[in-house]
Structure 1
Amino acid sequence: MSLFCAARFDTPCRIAVQHDPDALHAHLELPDGLEMGPGDRITVHGAPVVVPFGQSLTIDRTATVEVAGPLRRAWTRLTAHFEMAELYEVSFSPGRLA
């Protein structure tokens, strides 16, 4: 275990995207029992998700979860307290298709 990253693993995930007059949002669902904490990172693999206006889409992908180590977790809590920053990070990587 390092001070920055305690664990890194791949897991399935589900992405739900809604793009209509009522809402524009994307929601990432992880398997039951898997929760994110301060400083954790998720990289979703595959091509970018494009949803035309007036539609919604739900797709399954693979994600790499990087659990924060004690130093990154403490730093994230400290900076989030002062800067109102995000407590975790989600990004998309076109490198691997699921």
Structure 2
Amino acid sequence: MIRARAFEVPCRIAVEQSEAHFHAHVELAGNLSVEPGDKVRVHGEPIRVAFGESAVFERTATVVRAGPLLRGWMRIVAYLGLTELYEVSFNPGSLR
């Protein structure tokens, strides 16, 4: 049986809500990369930021690494999903 590897890591959450920006970014300590199929769960109370404000929060996150089969499956699914973005045209005269 292949088990998922889970571990906790500190993280920083930067949240901004303004006319120019509306985002929430999570940075894992140690610049850990998140690969296809991995799961990240940030612990703590829900974050609320009023319009026109930005804030940075320190929290803990649990990272669950995907096994090789799930990681491969996620890559295949992502590739097939990408093909939906291709534009297909059936306009007359477009293939001359």
Please say whether Structure 1 and Structure 2 have the same fold, judged by a TM-score greater than 0.5.
yes
Measure how far apart 1:51 and its partner are. Answer: 0.5
Q: Which runs of 5+ in 1 are unaligned?
A: 85-98
Give the TM-score normalised by the residue count of structure 2: 0.80
Q: Which runs of 5+ in 2 are unaligned?
A: 83-96
Which of 79, 82, 90 aligns to 1:81? It is: 79
Alignment of 1:1-98 (within 5 A): 2=2, 5=4, 7-84=5-82
Which structure has more helix as a fraction of its residues? 2
Structure (1 or 2) with the larger CA radius of gyration? 2
2:86 corresponds in structure 1 to none
The 1-side partners of 2:63 and 2:30 are apart by 14
- Summarize deviations over 1:29-50 as a string: whole Å, max 9, x none: 0112411111111000111111
How many pairs were matched up? 82
Measure how far apart 1:71 and its partner are. Answer: 1.1
TM superposition outliers: structure 1 runs of 4+ over 4 Å: none
Higher RCO (CA-CA < 8 Å; seq separation 6+): 1
Which structure has more strand as a fraction of its residues? 1
Measure how far apart 1:83 and its partner are. Answer: 1.3
Measure how far apart 1:80 and its partner are. Answer: 0.5
What's the Cα RMSD here?
Answer: 1.4
Percent of residue pairs bearing the same amino acid type = 46
Q: Residue 33 and residue 27 in structure 1: after superposition, are their counterparts in 2 closer, same or farther (change >3 A)?
A: closer
